[in-house]
């Protein structure tokens, strides 16, 4: 009898805990939705005032160039530069909060063509760095094609940005079938990432290498993670600091 009582009490406690966990999970989801709604509204409404700060700063510099002293030039430069950096962050944040809103349009397309498109949009960085970007035998997949191009732009763009100044970037995009899905990889010969940060770099605003000369907003990989998870996949990184990194993600195989 005692055993039965103990078991019943344990079962009841388990059911209560499960119930509490479900409620907590629902509250967490709701507050995430609120946060994303806030990010969307805030970043959208910040665009116009920021544009004014930057463009009037530039106008001031142009129109009154000869009448301003050196200090004034320096201060305006700081203002315009800070404003432009904030504009980039706001634009990226807006894009991040939009991923869920859009991206329902899945269609079959050639992922190799998407890589070509991404390369085209990065042609200036490719030419400047003397990068070599290889891809071969990439499959047809069912995905939001616009978002797939974005994924490739962010991953290849990072591979170009975080390259070792001592050697031109070499980037390779591959895909292999893994059961019912494709596993894509974008690998580089760049500066690499400390394994302690393998998870963190996918969070919004998380940046490493900030003391170096690399600019950025820390949103690119968070956007990638959202796009991949939106399509039911997973994204991760493997890297050897000083030798290079490889970003992997899975995509459903139609």
Residues forming contacts to ligand ADP in the complex (CB under 6 A) are 154, 158-159, 162, 188, 190-193, 201, 206-209, 216-222, 245
Q: Which is nearer to ligand ADP, 158 or 250 (CB)?
A: 158
100 vs 140 by CB, closer to ligand ADP = 100
CB of 159 to ligand ADP, least distance (A): 5
Q: Are strands 170-178 and 244-252 parallel, antiparallel or unpaired?
A: unpaired
- Least Å from the CB of residue 120 to ligand ADP: 20
| Number of residues that this document lists for the chain | 254
The residue nearest ligand ADP at its CB is 216
Choice between 55 and 200, CB closer to ligand ADP: 200
Residue 206 makes CB contacts below 8 A (sequence gap 6+) with 197, 200, 218, 221, 222
Print burial letters for 217-227: b (CB count within 10 Å at least 16), e (below 16): bbbbbbbbbbb
Q: How far is the CB of 237 from ligand ADP (least distance, A)?
A: 8
Using the minimum distance from each CB to ligand ADP, give the nearer residue, 126 or 221. Answer: 221
Single out the residue of 35, 48, 121 nearest to residue 87, CA to CA.
Answer: 48
- The nearer residue to ligand ADP, 141 or 219, going by C-beta atoms, is 219
CA dihedral sign, ordered 152, 221, 219, 168:
negative
Rounded CA separation 233/9 (Å) = 40
From the CB of residue 254, how many other CB atoms can be counted at a distance below 10 Å? 12
């Amino acid at each position: 009898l005692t055993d039965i009582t103990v078991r019943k009490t344990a079962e009841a406690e388990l059911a209560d805990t499960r119930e509490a966990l479900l409620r907590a999970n629902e509250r967490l989801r709701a507050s995430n939705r609120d946060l994303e709604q806030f990010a969307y509204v805030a970043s959208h409404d910040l665009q116009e005032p920021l544009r004014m700060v930057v463009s009037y700063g530039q106008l001031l510099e142009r129109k009154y160039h000869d009448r301003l002293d050196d200090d004034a030039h320096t201060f305006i430069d700081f203002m315009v530069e800070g404003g432009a950096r904030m504009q980039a962050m706001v634009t990226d944040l807006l894009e991040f909060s939009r991923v869920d809103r859009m991206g329902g349009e899945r269609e079959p397309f050639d992922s190799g063509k998407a890589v070509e498109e991404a390369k085209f949009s990065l042609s200036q960085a490719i030419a400047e760095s003397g990068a070599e970007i290889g891809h071969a035998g990439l499959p047809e997949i069912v995905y939001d094609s616009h978002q797939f191009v974005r994924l490739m732009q962010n991953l290849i763009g990072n591979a170009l940005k975080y390259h070792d100044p001592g050697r031109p970037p070499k980037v390779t995009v591959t895909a292999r079938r893994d059961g019912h899905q494709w596993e894509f990889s974008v690998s580089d010969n760049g500066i690499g990432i400390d394994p302690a940060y393998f998870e963190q770099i996918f969070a919004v605003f998380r940046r490493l290498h900030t003391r170096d000369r690399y600019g950025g907003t820390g949103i690119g990989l968070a956007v990638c993670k959202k796009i991949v998870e939106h399509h039911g996949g997973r994204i991760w990184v493997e890297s050897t600091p000083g030798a290079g990194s490889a970003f992997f993600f899975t995509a459903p195989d139609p």
